Chains A and B, each alone.
Chain A
Amino acid sequence: MSQANTVIDLAMLSRREANATLQAAEAGAFRMRNPGGAHALACGLMNPISVTIEGHAGYYAAGANKEAEVIIEGNAGTGVAENLMSGRVRVTGNASQSAGATGHGGLLVIEGNTAARCGISMKGIDIVVGGNVGHMSAFMAQAGRLVVLGDAGADLGDSIYEAELFVRGKVASLGADCEEKAMTPADHDVLAGLLAASGMAAAPTAFRKFGSARRLYHFTIDNADAY
């Protein structure tokens, strides 16, 4: 039976009932009404379904999802798309802190701004932010790409591993062991692809790239001042 355009109304269903319905679905499109900023909406999804949340979502919306596409028509609370494995998540408004935290894969798009620690400990996710990101974004970022069309707050990429950061606006400061890298034609191609996938209009050549200086990969006495 087709699940196309199935309505899930949180004024009628509990969060558990709503999430259980989505987690059990193998295909189809769903519209979640009256989210009311509830936490952990549309999380733990396992299949290529489409979910549109009509309004603001609380903490951990679309957390730990695989394959699904989730659109939040509003703002998202802390940890949107945390530990995302694959699939896509789009926030049409702003996102709070720790957006995309520890994500292993997939694409997170935030059309507005994000608060602190966007992409913290990211492990392969791609994150595209239309506005600004707060301080300590990409802290301990291990893998994946963070693209910021606006400005980045203080201590960008602190203790970064192998993630790649692209920023079009100003960077307040870089964190420990994060440094600017030369942009290559290959980087421009990667960036163009991410911008196209996220529906963002920007010239790849307008971005700067940042990554790990790899000076803190081993404990040595000479690095003591950096910690």
Chain B
Amino acid sequence: MADYAKTPGTVPRKAALFDDYTLSEIRRAAATGIYDIRGGGAKRRVPHFDDLVFLGASMSRYPLEGYRERCDTDVVLGDRFAEKPLQLKIPITIAGMSFGALSAPAKEALGRGASAMGTATTTGDGGMTEEERGHSSLLVYQVLPSRYGMNPDDLRRADAIEVVVGQGAKPGGGGMLLGQKIGPRVAQMRTLPEGIDQRSACRHPDWTGPDDLEIKIGELREITGWQKPIFVKVGAARPYYDTALAVKAGADVVVVDGMQGGTAATQEVFIEHVGIPTLAALREAVRALSELGMHRKVQLVISGGIRTGADVAKAMAMGADAVSIGTAALVALGDNDPALEAEYQALGTTAGAYDDWHAGQDPAGITTQDPALAARLDPVAAGRRLRNYLSVLTMEAQTLARANGKSHLRNLEPEDLAALTVEAAAMAGVPLAGTSWVPGR
């Protein structure tokens, strides 16, 4: 009989394929019979701006004095056809997030923070609220497949219009807002019964394909007197073709949202397994614009995982005219704050990992429609935090631009960059650091 206590054995080993998360998901699925729904973007590690570095100045490149020489940050979005393009002081906008997904104080705070920095915020799949219009000096109005709350008056009082074809978290998927968050005001704005699980359409109801989109954009321009810039937002699926087709359809601005871009509520399987990384999408979108001779004529906004001034600067060096932030803006407002750890623990999660934005129980008062929870968020203080954060992003990007000898963020260029990994070099189309090698060239 074997004496196990004396027999040397291996330490317990878990399979790489069956890590703790995977095992927990199998058990969750077995218990509930329904897929996991969550907020946020892709959580897996994918090549990103962290895998790029700036080269900085050297013998052949002159830096600018950090505290003495200007580095400008302004950008104009939408001057291709629109009579009144957006004039932004910084190239960082707030991405579309709906009232419904977010509380009214959160929308107000986004408007306050963005306006203080001279940039734009964006509505979402729930129409325009007075809070966000009132507190957003520049507001982009989204035209989504659902057309919830869509009306010509709001189209006209917007500063720009964004036709949403898709988003990075779920290219090909429609919006989702579960019953917990369909309170009286949200229901009224969306013309839906209170408390139902709302499933937005994934396709627009009155156009299909780029030829129709061109006609649709024409109608939107007619309704708004050709004054408003028209953005077309696509999820990062086939960015080369989607960007080219958006240009062909008459877009003033193309917004490309990578797979790290957040969502208020989508199936986990969709978030993690559909779409391509922001880094790869950006390079392809720029290539499409360049080949059409439209780079800098049709502006490109990139989103999906922008967190730092380094991300901003690298995106612009690769050819973006501006970036858009969503998840990072929510964190700046107070989302996932460790100060709320006890409440996150009570919800079965932890600060930094809370992603049940669909459940409406957000202790930070941001992703909720519960009046008591929403009241926790002070829109003035939260707006101030967002302003501070946007200011830091801008100053960081300026720091990097000066180090590369650039007097304007838009002057950053791919030549300023090197990649730290082969994958990032291939996706971004910049040389692997220490070499002149760009995979595929």
Interface string of B204-236 (1 = CB under 8 A from A): 011100001001101100111110000000000
Chain B: CB-nearest residue to A159? B199
- Which interface class (under 10, 10 to 19, 20 to 34, 35 or more) fits A? 35 or more
Which residues on the B side are within 8 Å of A78 (C-beta)? 206-207, 212, 215
Which residues on the A side are within 8 Å of B219 (C-beta)? 39-40, 43, 59-60, 63-64
**Contact: A123 with B191, CB < 8 Å?**
yes
* 28 interchain pairs, CB-CB under 8 A: A16-B222, A23-B225, A39-B218, A39-B219, A40-B223, A43-B223, A44-B152, A46-B152, A58-B215, A63-B219, A63-B223, A64-B155, A78-B207, A78-B212, A83-B151, A98-B206, A101-B205, A102-B147, A102-B150, A102-B206, A117-B205, A123-B147, A161-B193, A161-B196, A217-B179, A217-B196, A218-B179, A218-B197
Chain A: CB-nearest residue to B152? A64
Q: How far is the CA of A19 from the CA of B218 in the complex (A)?
A: 12
Say whether B33 faces chain A, with CB atoms less than 8 Å apart: yes
Which residues on the B side are within 8 Å of A98 (C-beta)? 205-206
Q: How far is the CA of A221 from the CA of B30 in the complex (A)?
A: 11
> Nearest Cβ in chain A — how far from B20, in angstroms?
25
**Residue from A121, A217, A221 whose CB has the most chain B CB atoms within 10 Å:** A121
Say whether A85 faces chain B, with CB atoms less than 8 Å apart: yes
Give the residues from 198 to 227 in chain A that come closer than 8 angstroms, CB to CB, to chain B: 217-221, 224
Q: How far is the CA of A161 from the CA of B205 in the complex (A)?
A: 16
**Contact: A142 with B206, CB < 8 Å?**
no
**Contact: B152 with A85, CB < 8 Å?**
yes
Say whether B26 faces chain A, with CB atoms less than 8 Å apart: no
> Nearest Cβ in chain A — how far from B211, in angstroms?
10
**Contact: B197 with A121, CB < 8 Å?**
no
Interface string of B117-152 (1 = CB under 8 A from A): 000000000000000000000000000001100111
CB < 8 Å neighbour of A102 from B205, B218, B226: B205
Q: How far is the CA of A219 from the CA of B267 in the complex (A)?
A: 12
> Nearest Cβ in chain B — how far from A150, in angstroms?
22
Which residues on the B side are within 8 Å of A224 (C-beta)? 33
Chain B: CB-nearest residue to A77? B215
**Contact: A218 with B222, CB < 8 Å?**
no
Say whether A20 faces chain B, with CB atoms less than 8 Å apart: yes
Say whether A79 faces chain B, with CB atoms less than 8 Å apart: yes
**Contact: B205 with A124, CB < 8 Å?**
no
Contacts across chains A and B counted by CB atoms under 8 Å: 104
Say whether A162 faces chain B, with CB atoms less than 8 Å apart: yes
Q: How far is the CA of A218 from the CA of B216 in the complex (A)?
A: 33
**Contact: A40 with B218, CB < 8 Å?**
yes
Interface contacts beyond A40-B218, A161-B196: sample of 15 additional A-B pairs, CB < 8 Å, sorted by A: A39-B215, A43-B219, A44-B222, A59-B215, A79-B207, A83-B147, A117-B205, A121-B201, A139-B205, A140-B201, A142-B192, A161-B193, A219-B34, A219-B197, A221-B32
Which residues on the B side are within 8 Å of A20 (C-beta)? 225
Nearest 9 pairs of A and B residues by beta carbon: A44-B223, A221-B33, A79-B206, A40-B219, A102-B147, A217-B196, A98-B206, A101-B205, A60-B219
Which residues on the A side are within 8 Å of B223 (C-beta)? 40, 43-44, 63-64
Query: Which residues on B are within 8 Å of A, measured CB to CB?
Result: 32-34, 146-147, 150-152, 155, 178-179, 190-193, 196-197, 199, 201, 205-207, 212, 215-216, 218-219, 222-226
Q: How far is the CA of A20 from the CA of B222 in the complex (A)?
A: 8
Q: How far is the CA of A39 from the CA of B152 in the complex (A)?
A: 18
Q: How far is the CA of A220 from the CA of B212 in the complex (A)?
A: 36
Which residues on the A side are within 8 Å of B150 (C-beta)? 83, 102, 104
> Nearest Cβ in chain A — how far from B244, in angstroms?
22
Which residues on the B side are within 8 Å of A15 (C-beta)? 222
Q: How far is the CA of A133 from the CA of B136 in the complex (A)?
A: 43
Which residues on the A side are within 8 Å of B222 (C-beta)? 15-16, 19, 40, 43-44
Give the residues from 134 to 153 in chain A that come closer than 8 angstroms, CB to CB, to chain B: 139-140, 142-143
Q: How far is the CA of A65 from the CA of B155 in the complex (A)?
A: 12
Q: How far is the CA of A221 from the CA of B222 in the complex (A)?
A: 46
**Contact: B206 with A120, CB < 8 Å?**
yes
**Contact: B207 with A64, CB < 8 Å?**
no
Give the residues from 19 to 45 in chain A that come closer than 8 angstroms, CB to CB, to chain B: 19-20, 23, 39-40, 43-44
Say whether A66 faces chain B, with CB atoms less than 8 Å apart: yes
**Residue from A40, A104, A161 whose CB has the most chain B CB atoms within 10 Å:** A40
Q: How far is the CA of A159 from the CA of B203 in the complex (A)?
A: 14
Which residues on the B side are within 8 Å of A104 (C-beta)? 150-151, 191
Which residues on the A side are within 8 Å of B224 (C-beta)? 44
Which residues on the A side are within 8 Å of B190 (C-beta)? 142
Say whether A126 faces chain B, with CB atoms less than 8 Å apart: no
**Contact: B206 with A101, CB < 8 Å?**
yes
**Contact: B34 with A64, CB < 8 Å?**
no
Q: How far is the CA of A97 from the CA of B57 in the complex (A)?
A: 59
> Nearest Cβ in chain A — how far from B374, in angstroms?
23
Q: How far is the CA of A79 from the CA of B215 in the complex (A)?
A: 11
**Contact: B197 with A64, CB < 8 Å?**
no
**Contact: A64 with B151, CB < 8 Å?**
yes
